[in-house]
Amino acid sequence: MSYQMLIDGNMVSTEFWLDVVNPATGEILARCPRADAAIVEQAVAAASRAYPEWSRRSYDERSAKLRQLADLIEERADQFARLLTEEQGKPLEQAAFEIAGAIYVLRTFAEMRLPPETLRADGNSQVVEYRGPLGVVAAITPWNFPVLLLMNKLAPALLTGNTLVVKPAPTTPLTTLLFGEVCADVLPAGVVNIVVDANELGGILTSHPSIAKVAFTGSTATGKKVMAAAAESVKRVTLELGGNDGAIVLDDVDTASAAKHLFDGAMLNAGQICVAIKRAYVPSSMYDAVCEELARLANAAVVDNGMHQGVQIGPVQNAAQFAKLKDFLADAAEHGTIIAGGHALDRPGYFIAPTIVRDVSDDARIVREEQFGPILPVLAYDDIDEVIARVNDSDYGLAGTVWGKDLDRANAIASRIEAGTIWVNQHLAIDATIPFRGAKQSGLGGELGIEGLKEYTQARIVNSVSLD
């Protein structure tokens, strides 16, 4: 299979190449073409040319295109899911779930509208808010959910009349390029353009005078650079950044169910989820029992190539992340007690054994920093006010969870956590109709829901009065 970028309606190759590695084998999965600065310019110019006509179309016309994109992905869902597992590493079932989620996002946004809103109308005067598109949007995505996180940006951007230049992460460009083939069949030339880089071209997009908005998902460190670059021309930005989500287990939950929820929430996608459970807080009275059960689950987990049947945890996505996690494991071994895992698997590919760390202090790296891997530090607490303060003592504020039988008590505790989303007795209940945004250094602006749609528009107030 050969891959090409989508520029101005054409599938194009270049003489520069990027090797994409299968993280389950460490072998090269595919070579794909890569852009240079001149190709990025062509992509931005094509998106700018396509904008006037696309933005003049009606919501209904653009919505029909979103539905067509969804239908064509659905027809090729198996191909998308397999390629996603091969380039990203996640188990095939989870890849299929991500593709289904992407289709759902396209179809859900296709139903949304932003009609003019009358803010005031009295006698002979009225104030009406209209919302129009911004222009060319740069959509920059990370490697943990390359398809889903792209759709969270592309669907609202296209529906509201913007055109796009898309840049996937260098280690997971293939599913985005496959999606480019779908776009080429459905959309007018230039409405969506896709460029691949080796981590060096994002800055051109974020500082480009013809880009009106940057929709970015990635690390907080890169998000700060995006924000700084966008400042020059006061671009709109949405930043979906890192997280270090705490989970609070209350003392009325039974041990086995608490451990199961914590384990699943920490280990899905090999822990590479912005809203994964990254620190677990358990009452002292339950601490030994929950730790023991977590260790049992970790030792029993099936870790293997995501293409194999029954696999729970695949490899981590890339060599840099693999090296970073081994560093975290060394630090965790020094500052805590590892009761399961704690090492890379002795086989090709980037496999980390699911790891549980106990007896670790609040200031250990594995607790304070976002590890983004299948490692869960477990901490004990004695007092609710104290544990809320410990969870909130972070520069991040993406999400969090509270687990408790007494729902009123759990909800009251959840409302005191400084994060954009707090789930009670559930995890990852993300939906295209519910706004998602990070607090503190976890983000700026938001995605999904009507609020997420508005992020791709400029509000214009028309304030009129009759001359009579």
For residue 357, the 8-state DSSP code is E
- How many chain residues are in contact with ligand NAD, going by CB under 6 A? 29
4 scored as a contact of ligand NAD (CB under 6 A): no
179 scored as a contact of ligand NAD (CB under 6 A): no
Here's the x/- map for ligand NAD, 406-445, by CB under 6 A: it reads as --------------------------------x----x--
Among 33, 91, 146, 170, binds ligand NAD (CB under 6 A): 170
Q: How, if at all, do strands 236-240 and 443-444 pair?
A: antiparallel
- Asked about 240 being catalytic, the answer comes back as yes
Q: By C-beta, is 320 or 459 nearer to ligand NAD?
A: 320
156 scored as a contact of ligand NAD (CB under 6 A): no
374 scored as a contact of ligand NAD (CB under 6 A): no
Report in angstroms how near the CB of residue 64 gets to ligand NAD at its nearest: 28
140 scored as a contact of ligand NAD (CB under 6 A): yes
Question: Would you say 318 and 171 are in contact if contact means Cβ atoms under 8 Å apart?
Answer: yes
Report in angstroms how near the CB of residue 199 gets to ligand NAD at its nearest: 4
Beta strand residue intervals within 13-147, DSSP E: 17-22, 27-33, 117-122, 125-133, 136-140
Rounding to the nearest 10 degrees, give the CA dihedral for residues 96, 100, 102, 108: -170
Q: By C-beta, is 85 or 176 nearer to ligand NAD?
A: 176
Beta bridge partners of residue 214, listed in sequence order: 138, 237
Site for ligand NAD in 261-280 (CB under 6 A): 274
CA distances from 164 to 59, 134, 157, 204, 205 (A): 17, 11, 8, 14, 11
Residue ranges in 196-351 assigned as alpha helix (H):
202-206, 220-231, 255-267, 284-300, 319-335
Report in angstroms how near the CB of residue 256 gets to ligand NAD at its nearest: 29
Report in angstroms how near the CB of residue 25 gets to ligand NAD at its nearest: 21
218 scored as a contact of ligand NAD (CB under 6 A): yes
Q: How, if at all, do strands 125-133 and 457-465 pair?
A: antiparallel
Q: By C-beta, is 172 or 457 nearer to ligand NAD?
A: 172
Hey, CA dihedral for 267, 268, 273, 279, is it positive or negative? negative
Residue the block writes with tokens 């396509």 = 50
375 scored as a contact of ligand NAD (CB under 6 A): no
Among 85, 88, 144, 355, binds ligand NAD (CB under 6 A): 144
Among 18, 212, 226, 303, binds ligand NAD (CB under 6 A): 226
- Asked about 291 being catalytic, the answer comes back as no
Which of 279, 227, 236, 61 is closest to 136 using CA atoms? 236
Q: Count other Cβ atoms within 10 Å, centred on residue 113.
A: 11
Give every CB contact of residue 351 below 8 A, 6+ residues apart in sequence. Answer: 24, 303, 315, 316, 344, 345
Site for ligand NAD in 331-370 (CB under 6 A): 370
285 scored as a contact of ligand NAD (CB under 6 A): no
Report in angstroms how near the CB of residue 254 gets to ligand NAD at its nearest: 31
Report in angstroms how near the CB of residue 23 gets to ligand NAD at its nearest: 13
372 scored as a contact of ligand NAD (CB under 6 A): yes
Q: How many residues does the chain have?
A: 468
Catalytic residue among 86, 87, 98, 240: 240
Beta bridge partners of residue 166, listed in sequence order: 139, 194
Q: Which long-range contacts (CB under 8 A, 24 or more apart) does 27-31 make?
A: 27/348, 29/86, 29/87, 29/174, 30/1, 30/3, 30/87, 30/174
Among 89, 91, 133, 142, binds ligand NAD (CB under 6 A): 142
Question: Would you say 355 and 334 are in contact if contact means Cβ atoms under 8 Å apart?
Answer: no
Report in angstroms how near the CB of residue 38 gets to ligand NAD at its nearest: 18
Binding site residues, ligand NAD, CB under 6 A: 140-144, 149, 167, 169-170, 199, 202-203, 206, 217-219, 222, 225-226, 240-243, 274, 370, 372, 398, 438, 443
Q: What residues are annotated to the active site?
A: 240, 274
